[in-house]
Amino acid sequence: MEKITIELISRSNAIEVLEFERENRQFFESTLPSRGDKYYEEEFFMEIIEEIIEEQTEGQCYMYVIRNELGKVVGRVNLFSVVRGMFEKAEIGYRIGQKHNGKGYATKAVELAIDEGFNKYNLHRIEAGTSPNNIGSQIVLIKNGFQFIGRTRDVIRINNKWEDGILFERLNNK
């Protein structure tokens, strides 16, 4: 497995992120809700980036790009819905570009994001949800020490159809 890195989304990598999203739009929308045409317009996308930067500064989320050893953006991994206080938790999500699927990038990126979440941001718990049909994503979570905790019914609407979710958790056992 080649070395990968993760870096927070920023103004300096925003155009690369947009190009990655455009390149993989059809692939992602086959399993995730559509973000609509406007999302892929540069001006609108840059507004979204500014919101992400602000939310990262406030500790509400930590959105990363995943780079392969050549420095190319191959995916994204995000810690989002951060809750502080008595919970100290976040959710994790990730997406790998179609050309780069199955190469171990998601497994390693999730490992790196968990390390950031637990050791840099002092989270106690990270949760994840997947589609029951997304076995690859479930394997990524299990390889990273996540435990299955249950199934939610009709939790997300994809292509105008309600879908179930499979829930996982990982605790910071320092």
- Average pLDDT, integer, range 115-125: 98
Indicate if the pLDDT at residue 152 is higher than 80. yes
What confidence score (pLDDT) does residue 77 get?
98
Q: Which two tokens stand for residue 40?
A: 């892929």
User: What is the CATH architecture assignment of 5-171?
Assistant: 3-Layer(aba) Sandwich (3.40)
What per-residue confidence (pLDDT) applies to 1?
62
Give the β-pairing of 62-67 and 73-83. antiparallel
Query: Is a pLDDT exceeding 80 seen at residue 113?
Result: yes
What is the tens place of the pLDDT at every residue in 153-163?
Answer: 998 877 788 98
Whether 31 shows a pLDDT value over 90: the answer reads no
What sign results for the dihedral spanned by CA atoms 30, 31, 35, 41?
negative
Residue extents of the structural domains in the chain: 5-171
**pLDDT above 80 (res 30):** no
